[in-house]
Copies of this chain bind each other. A is one copy, B any other.
Amino acid sequence: MNAAQPPEHRQGSEPGRHNLDPHLDRYAARTAGMTASEIRALFAVASRPEVVSLAGGMPNLAALPLDSLSGQMAELIAEDGLVALQYGSAHGVPTLREQICDVMAMEGITGHPDDVVVTVGSQMGLDMVTRLFCDPGDVVIAEGPSYVGALGSFAAYQAKVVHVAMDDDGLVPETLRAALAHAKSQGKRVKFLYTIPNFHNPAGVTLAVERRAEILEICRENDVLVVEDNPYGLLGFDGQTYPALRSMDPDNVVYLGSFSKTFASGLRVGWVLAPHAVREKLVLAAESATLCPPTLNQLVVSRYLATHDWKGQVKTFRENYRERRDAMLSALEQHLPAGCTWTRPDGGFYVWVTVPEGVDTKAMLARAVTARVAYASGTGFYADGFGSRQMRLSYCYPTPERIREGVRRLAGVLESEMDLMRTFGSGTTRAVSGPQFPGPDTA
């Protein structure tokens, strides 16, 4: 469930234009939290072919068997077109919901197809879960940094995000405990913990298995629901999987899954597995949001799962991503100036880099794009302005050669930035007293 945040060409969106908006007084209060991500302004430039983009989260689809998919799509329409092109239920196609249960079983989850709700990507699942649970001012606890699309949904429902720190073993249980105690002492209502346990976006770390029960226990003790977002779980580079939080506490975990990383993101097929009573409400919420997910797309996924060696395909994806991860890590080792640190992911799409104090990744981004490399600056992954010493580098999409070239360019930009700092002091870039990696901002 990850943000590709793909190129947008908005010729008309000059800053300041909103002053001319005749509808300005009409908007709902929640629109105040709707802001464009920093990278968006640079997309028109960053998406030029000469720029190496380490910014997006687009999966590498080149390995997909397009020929056989093409034939299958033709068959689907010829044989079952009147169903594929017709409305379906907001709940989702029953056969697909059964298959989804088989997919989840690979991570230890026992779920009933009735409790699966198919969504338009798991972004929609996230939006629906927030719709169900969050009144304005309610608190959502999330790792710091966290998935930018989740922060967008939380903002749309005016929930307040409190970040909790991670280390190389993922979410640190003590910081969760502290954040919950703090919220309680302030009379805040914490609705759920939003967590990405496996191959975290953007942090690239995985929640240690021995921490999982503890985190679930903390949430139970504090009467806080867990929302587990797991788009990358099958993309462990050694084929390893981890027990899903949902498998360890079915009644207190809402699980979000996606075919965007294991099959094809452009189909927008994700799902929610929820405790029974929550599932009933989810279907009603989904109905008011999109009436039903596209039937065609659900049948495409269902046929693909039934007729292709989809697990073999996931293995191919994994191998591609491992190769790219290796290319990125060795390039970082080789090129990045002293003082930079980064995570070493065992799966997924992302490396999280911390740069030396005084360098502001947000301010540096425009200069990086000029040097023909793009990344996602860290501030976008925090609801509270932290992250200016961090950046997310994606290795999922470019070739290993392009990744190496991109990191080389990025290292050059960082070197110049640090040279400037040494010459003129850190005032040339905004000094920020934010958290060290990965950010202990539990307040």
Interface residues of A (CB under 8 A from B): 3-13, 17-18, 20-24, 26-31, 34-36, 58-59, 61-62, 64, 66-67, 69-71, 73-78, 81-91, 94, 114, 120-121, 123-124, 127, 131-135, 138, 149, 152-153, 155-157, 191, 225, 251, 260, 264-268, 275-278, 280-281, 283-285, 287-297, 300
User: Is there an interface contact between A23 and B288, defined as CB atoms closer than 8 Å?
Assistant: no
User: Is there an interface contact between A69 and B87, defined as CB atoms closer than 8 Å?
Assistant: no
Q: Which residues of B contact A23 (CB under 8 A)?
A: 225, 275, 277-278
Q: Is the interface of A mostly helix, strand, loop or mixed?
A: helix
- Assess A88 versus B277: contact at CB under 8 Å? Given A29-B135, A132-B28, A284-B34: no
Q: Name which residue of chain B comes closest to A3, CB basis.
A: B291
Q: Which residues of B contact A89 (CB under 8 A)?
A: 6-8
User: Is there an interface contact between A27 and B281, defined as CB atoms closer than 8 Å?
Assistant: yes
Ordered nearest first, which 9 A-B pairs have the shortest CB separation?
A: A21-B277, A4-B87, A74-B74, A85-B264, A266-B295, A152-B288, A70-B77, A70-B78, A123-B291
Q: Which residues of B contact A133 (CB under 8 A)?
A: 26-28
User: Is there an interface contact between A267 and B296, defined as CB atoms closer than 8 Å?
Assistant: yes
Nearest CB on B from A46, distance (A): 13
Q: Which residues of B contact A294 (CB under 8 A)?
A: 120, 266-268, 294, 297
User: Is there an interface contact between B69 and A127, defined as CB atoms closer than 8 Å?
Assistant: no
Q: Which residues of B contact A155 (CB under 8 A)?
A: 288
Q: Name which residue of chain B comes closest to A4, CB basis.
A: B87
Nearest CB on B from A178, distance (A): 22
Q: Which residues of B contact A75 (CB under 8 A)?
A: 70
Q: Which residues of B contact A278 (CB under 8 A)?
A: 21, 23
Nearest CB on B from A261, distance (A): 11
- Assess A285 versus B251: contact at CB under 8 Å? Given A28-B133, A91-B8: no
